[in-house]
């Protein structure tokens, strides 16, 4: 009997040229969920535009620029991207400017030459084992566990599965398999039951929580009211109100700084709805998520706007056919 379905997400980081129509297709089909981003992007025949808060055009990507800009956004720092975003604005880049932009990029994202004995030689892969708990007690905070009870012999046959443990063990197996093929692999969290901050959530809550909240307040990333509320929250509440997203950013930061050719995010979901369920399932699903899941609020942050621009302009594709 099957109970859980492994969900492995692949995000290949291969920026490739595409037409504006293809960018629009990508945006409509995958990125603009229920029209949430319609006020942020405008497509015309020969360009797409990122709009500012007043819905005015702020940055343009023209047909002949898609390839170079996709490569640039993939192979440059946020500071360089912010500079280009501001300087370029709605201007069209000349051939000379495009050429010089192409020349300034590093070659980190290019796939290494295939090696016949080790087909993944030197390919960088980042794996994110979803969640962090590896035991039932800790997983109660995340709510990522199932208890399967055999009705006939209740005590004997109860099986407890903790998603954070399954994803971590899967990541270990996958890492070894990929390394055998020559890949260079990192994990977003390196030990069982640990968060991406290299400590358990319990320890983070005990020893680091106040420091983090204080510093965010100081940097004005948390306003006074929210700060006061979060400071009072017990462990479970703070997890849902703050830590979950905060830790996810740390995972993304780690993975991005590795410039992976491919990212793999592992979860075990019940089905495509993943809503509360009470019985085991015979279904066998695979889910695929497309990178770039930004909401309107996210785009208030300049850095997210840059990531988002890149997401529309690139094509995710399989890394290679082996
Ligand atoms: Zn999950």
Among residues 96, 66, 17, 97, which one has the least CA distance to residue 317? 17
Asked if pLDDT for residue 315 goes beyond 70, the answer is no
Question: What pLDDT, on the 0 to 100 scale, is given for residue 167?
Answer: 96
Q: In angstroms, what is the span from residue 277 Cα to ligand 1's centroid?
A: 15
Mean pLDDT check: name the lowest of 2-16, 274-288, 304-318.
2-16
Rounded percentage of the chain residues whose pLDDT exceeds 70: 86
Q: In angstroms, what is the span from residue 58 Cα to ligand 1's centroid?
A: 37
Band (pLDDT 50/70/90 cuts) for residue 184 is very high
Q: In angstroms, what is the span from residue 269 Cα to ligand 1's centroid?
A: 6
Q: In angstroms, what is the span from residue 130 Cα to ligand 1's centroid?
A: 6
Q: In angstroms, what is the span from residue 169 Cα to ligand 1's centroid?
A: 14
Q: In angstroms, what is the span from residue 315 Cα to ligand 1's centroid?
A: 25
Average pLDDT for 287-313: 76
Question: What pLDDT, on the 0 to 100 scale, is given for residue 15?
Answer: 45
Asked if pLDDT for residue 297 goes beyond 70, the answer is yes
Question: What pLDDT, on the 0 to 100 scale, is given for residue 320?
Answer: 29
Q: In angstroms, what is the span from residue 208 Cα to ligand 1's centroid?
A: 24
Alpha helices, DSSP H only, in 127-286? 136-142, 163-180, 201-203, 209-218, 224-232, 235-238, 244-257
Q: In angstroms, what is the span from residue 136 Cα to ligand 1's centroid?
A: 15
Q: In angstroms, what is the span from residue 276 Cα to ligand 1's centroid?
A: 13
Band (pLDDT 50/70/90 cuts) for residue 227 is very high
Q: In angstroms, what is the span from residue 114 Cα to ligand 1's centroid?
A: 34
Average pLDDT for 210-225: 95
pLDDT digits (tens, 9 = 90+) for 133-150: 999 888 999 989 888 887
Pair of tokens at residue 141: 């905070």
Cα→Cα distances 21→3, 29, 48, 50, 313, Å:
41, 12, 9, 16, 11
Pair of tokens at residue 74: 């993939």
Question: What pLDDT, on the 0 to 100 scale, is given for residue 322?
Answer: 27
Q: In angstroms, what is the span from residue 171 Cα to ligand 1's centroid?
A: 13
Strand partners, 4: none
Mean pLDDT check: name the lowest of 12-21, 117-126, 173-182, 248-257.
12-21
> Which residues have their alpha-adjacent CB atom under 5 A from ion ligand 1?
130, 267
Q: In angstroms, what is the span from residue 163 Cα to ligand 1's centroid?
A: 7
Mean pLDDT check: name the lowest of 127-131, 206-210, 265-269.
265-269
Contact 204, 195 (CB under 8 A): yes
Q: Which residue has the tokens 């201007």?
A: 91
Q: In angstroms, what is the span from residue 176 Cα to ligand 1's centroid?
A: 22
Contact 281, 2 (CB under 8 A): yes
Flag whether the pTM goes above 0.85.
no
Asked if pLDDT for residue 66 goes beyond 60, the answer is yes
Q: In angstroms, what is the span from residue 166 Cα to ligand 1's centroid?
A: 10
Q: In angstroms, what is the span from residue 145 Cα to ligand 1's centroid?
A: 10
Contact 149, 157 (CB under 8 A): yes
Q: In angstroms, what is the span from residue 248 Cα to ligand 1's centroid?
A: 12
Average pLDDT for 61-87: 86
Asked if pLDDT for residue 120 goes beyond 90, the answer is yes
**What does the mean pLDDT of the chain come to?**
84
pLDDT digits (tens, 9 = 90+) for 78-119: 888 889 999 999 999 999 998 888 777 666 666 777 777 899
Band (pLDDT 50/70/90 cuts) for residue 44 is very high
Asked if pLDDT for residue 6 goes beyond 60, the answer is no
- Computed on alpha carbons and rounded to an integer, the radius of gyration of the chain in Å comes to 22
Q: In angstroms, what is the span from residue 217 Cα to ligand 1's centroid?
A: 30
Determine how β-strand 159-162 pairs with β-strand 57-62.
unpaired
Which is more confident, 319 or 223?
223
Among residues 126, 166, 158, which one has the least CA distance to residue 142? 166
């Amino acid at each position: 009997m099957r109970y859980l379905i492994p969900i492995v997400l692949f995000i290949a980081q291969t920026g490739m040229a595409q037409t504006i129509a293809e960018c629009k297709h990508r945006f409509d089909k995958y990125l603009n969920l229920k029209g949430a981003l319609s006020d942020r992007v405008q497509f015309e025949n020969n360009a797409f535009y990122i709009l500012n808060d007043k819905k005015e055009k702020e940055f343009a990507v023209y047909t002949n620029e898609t390839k170079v800009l996709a490569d640039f956004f993939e192979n440059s720092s946020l500071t360089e991207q912010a500079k280009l975003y501001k300087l370029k604005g709605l201007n069209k880049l000349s051939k000379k400017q495009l050429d010089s932009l192409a020349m300034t990029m590093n070659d980190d994202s290019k796939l290494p030459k295939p090696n016949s004995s080790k087909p993944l030689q030197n390919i960088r892969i980042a794996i994110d084992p979803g969640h962090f708990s590896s035991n039932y007690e800790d997983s109660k905070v995340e709510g990522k566990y199932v208890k399967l009870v055999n009705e006939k012999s209740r005590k004997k046959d109860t099986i407890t599965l903790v998603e954070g443990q399954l994803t971590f063990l899967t990541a270990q197996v996958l890492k070894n398999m990929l390394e055998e093929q020559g890949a260079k692999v990192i994990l977003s969290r390196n030990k069982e039951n640990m968060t991406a901050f290299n400590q358990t959530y319990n320890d983070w809550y005990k020893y680091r929580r106040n420091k983090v909240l204080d510093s965010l307040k100081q940097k004005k990333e948390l306003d006074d009211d929210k700060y006061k509320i979060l400071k009072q929250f017990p462990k479970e509440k703070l997890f849902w109100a703050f830590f979950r997203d905060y830790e996810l950013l740390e995972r993304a930061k780690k993975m991005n700084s590795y410039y992976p050719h491919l990212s793999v995010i592992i979860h075990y979901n019940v089905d495509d709805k993943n809503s509360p369920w009470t019985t085991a399932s015979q279904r066998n699903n695979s889910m695929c998520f497309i990178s770039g899941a930004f909401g309107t609020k996210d785009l208030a942050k300049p850095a997210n706007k840059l990531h988002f621009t890149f997401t529309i302009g690139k094509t995710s594709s399989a890394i290679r056919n082996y």
